[in-house]
Chains A and B, each alone.
Chain A
């Protein structure tokens, strides 16, 4: 009997059982996660193995409590820590719960339950919750300039950049002409997306003699939602704000800031500030909508018309305003806001698409592709700012662009392609974020495509350009945050949950989690719900275990030699 007691209170059973637990777990680490969870980590026999290991630790601790000495003090403390940990885990096992709110939480809807982990049971919560907003904060894309110098080693400079950014470094000027969330060919984009948002046209520029000067893709855009999302990193608000066109109709919004004159008006809603401002839609008027953004009404009209390719007027005639939104870095976006009576709400049109210069081999011509989609009919125009005229492009029929005789013709039009400018350096890895950067230096001038993770070496100089971090919904997310409304005991209060900052309500804790919508690829807010009555005991156990470990090692270290 004594020998059995001696065996049970020795470290050997603990070692053996811990070894068994870990050996099984190591085997399970080769299995698929869901199978490992179901067959091993949540199986009853594994719980039994853990319980046996805990019992062995308890017995071993009891033995050490009896034979307490300075030499075994650390081990005793460590065992007490392990005991606390095991007790906390047992309490959690008996009366705790782990679950999730794994369906995408719809903003505005009120919920009062969560799904238990590994099952379909829905547990009720002692409170109700609803999601108000879910925001994703992105790391801004950056341009790194790395230079290896003889006296200083590797020098690194980083610049937060976006489209239109211009930075100077060591005699060079780098201008980010375009950024791409995903760099790919037009054809790839067509195949990848069932509902791509953009259109593109391949055009050919000819000189007066009819010789082809240049052939390039022009990017346009179809009609989108009537709002412009201001990126968080450029906004005065930490989460950015949204400018929304509400309409030009006779109905007045209820919260006007100040009376406005009669005539066309533009309503702008500052989403985060929760206010609506009404701007007089008078040509030339400039209004600051925040300390960093301004709107300028470029022109107004009461007879905005959309026309089909056959020049047929699609009617009806609507009032509209062309608005330029200027950002802090000097970049401008131009939109047409029109009010359609038949739609009953305002509509925004991208009045101009991307702008391209054609300086090589001819006079500088600025061309802007303008596409508008209505049903299956498209109209392709090039806007010439110099003469303030538009030219309708036609397939294989050059149309004059310039008094010198230069002409342009439409070669190919893709109504449903995501446009990427196809001047990618040979060997670039596609399907990755990229930026097109113009480099102007003392010795040369060139434009390069920088793909994330692909350093670009400036020839003749010993430094590199690296475009880092993604600019899109695909990754490099800095923070997820959900603004919630919690109703507890009949009282409602706002709460915020973000990663690393869970929300504690009574004995429940809610952690921010996310899932990705398969079709759109957008992030959606989900939550993990944890009820852990033994958590404090477990935390205390970990701290005591750490202290015991430190004491044990210190004791052995000071002892110097094995006994």
Chain B
């Protein structure tokens, strides 16, 4: 049954991405509303998958790649529905996450005993994922804001979006190539899903140049202030969630390892990410920065969050390596 939830989540998010692309290009409100509805269905199916897995393994399903990918996609959808509600980037990311989960829908190996506290794992990993999702949504909104600004900002934003989409495809391909852990090759019946998922991810390469071109013709993203507000609120949510996640991790580490802070690479880079996000808030709310200058900080924050999530664990040992 949980596999059915996962399939529904993937197809709903993919449909949402398509509808958002069409709505953005043609400025059709009905298509946009349908895209949001599809995303709600996808998020609900993702939540049902997580709930079912949790009930099956009696701990939050956040120690395996499938569970992490679904939880991240779910968090993305929630932030998108709360603060952004436009543009295909977030539904595309959510669909990619759900697609990866479909490919890795194998039983997750249990975490090592030092990480065996189900209570803290759910709180710490869940909050950190939520924070990263907030920064991802802020990133999408900030790119939209930069595209609207035009000129050099728009060119750089389009390049950044293309780079992000390329990295997304590369990470997905690398994960597929290694198939480490208890990964399962997709059965024949899900091949269309695989093909569709890859096609959507590759379509991300084209999204930003197209949007840049379109933005010259129609104001499809709404007012600048609306975009700024979406970035602000997503960053606020991200700062709150990641901050609480780091603090929860400190309490967990103290309980398990006997110290609140161990200068672990992931701890350091997560703190760096959080501080950069706080700097964004300070610049916006205390210093009154606006426009592209602030938007670039949001873009940089997401870049750092991505490095923290995917790369920091491989720097040197550390206690966050059990998933790599």
- Interface residue? B299 (CB, 8 A): no
Nearest residue, chain A, Cβ from B272? A22
Q: Mark B250-281, 1 if CB is under 8 A from A, else 0.
A: 11001111111001010011011001000101
- Interface residue? B27 (CB, 8 A): no
- Interface residue? A476 (CB, 8 A): yes
Among A26, A153, A563, the most chain B Cβ lie within 10 Å of the Cβ of A153
Q: Which residues of B233-251 have CB atoms within 8 Å of chain A's CB atoms?
A: 233, 236-237, 239-240, 243-244, 247, 250-251
The answer on a CB contact under 8 Å between A30 and B316 is yes
Q: Which residues of A contact B187 (CB under 8 A)?
A: 148, 457, 462-464
- Interface residue? A28 (CB, 8 A): yes
Among A26, A40, A158, A562, the most chain B Cβ lie within 10 Å of the Cβ of A562
- Interface residue? A18 (CB, 8 A): yes
A257-265, A356-364, A542-550: which lies at the B interface?
A542-550
In the complex, what distance in Å separates the CA atom of A546 from the CA atom of B269?
A: 19
In the complex, what distance in Å separates the CA atom of A547 from the CA atom of B104?
A: 37
- Interface residue? A445 (CB, 8 A): no
When the two chains form the complex, which single residue of B109, B113, B269 contacts A469, counting CB atoms closer than 8 Å? B109
The answer on a CB contact under 8 Å between B110 and A153 is no
Q: Which residues of B213-246 have CB atoms within 8 Å of chain A's CB atoms?
A: 229, 232-233, 236-237, 239-240, 243-244
The answer on a CB contact under 8 Å between B288 and A562 is yes
In the complex, what distance in Å separates the CA atom of A31 from the CA atom of B117?
A: 30
Q: Mark B118-147, 1 if CB is under 8 A from A, else 0.
A: 000000000000000000000000000000
Q: How far is the CB of A233 from chain B (nearest CB, A)?
A: 14
The answer on a CB contact under 8 Å between A466 and B258 is no
Q: How far is the CB of A412 from chain B (nearest CB, A)?
A: 36
- Interface residue? B195 (CB, 8 A): no
Number of interface residues of B (CB under 8 A): 67
Q: Which residues of A contact B110 (CB under 8 A)?
A: 139, 469, 476, 478
A31-B316, A479-B113 in contact; A156/B3 too (CB < 8 A)? Answer: yes
Q: Which residues of A contact B255 (CB under 8 A)?
A: 500, 502
The answer on a CB contact under 8 Å between A148 and B1 is no
The answer on a CB contact under 8 Å between B315 and A553 is no
Q: Which residues of B contact A152 (CB under 8 A)?
A: 1, 3-4
The answer on a CB contact under 8 Å between A556 and B285 is yes
The answer on a CB contact under 8 Å between B269 and A26 is yes
Q: Which residues of B contact A151 (CB under 8 A)?
A: 4
The answer on a CB contact under 8 Å between A18 and B312 is no
Among A457, A480, A556, the most chain B Cβ lie within 10 Å of the Cβ of A556
13 A-B pairs with C-beta separation under 8 A = A29-B268, A153-B6, A155-B3, A453-B183, A455-B106, A464-B184, A476-B110, A478-B116, A500-B113, A500-B114, A532-B258, A538-B254, A538-B260
Q: Known pairs A144-B106, A156-B2, A530-B258; list 14 more (Cβ under 8 Å).
A: A26-B268, A26-B272, A28-B263, A139-B110, A146-B105, A146-B106, A148-B189, A453-B181, A464-B184, A466-B182, A479-B113, A553-B236, A553-B240, A562-B232
Q: B interface vs A, CB < 8 Å? A: 1-7, 56, 105-107, 109-110, 112-114, 116-117, 180-185, 187-190, 229, 232-233, 236-237, 239-240, 243-244, 247, 250-251, 254-260, 263, 265, 268-269, 271-272, 275, 279, 281-282, 284-286, 288, 290, 312, 315-318
Q: A interface vs B, CB < 8 Å? A: 11, 15, 18-19, 22, 25-26, 28-33, 36-37, 40-41, 98, 139, 142, 144, 146, 148, 150-156, 158, 452-453, 455, 457, 462-464, 466, 468-469, 476-480, 499-500, 502, 509, 511, 528, 530, 532, 535, 538-539, 542, 545-546, 549-550, 553, 556-557, 559-563
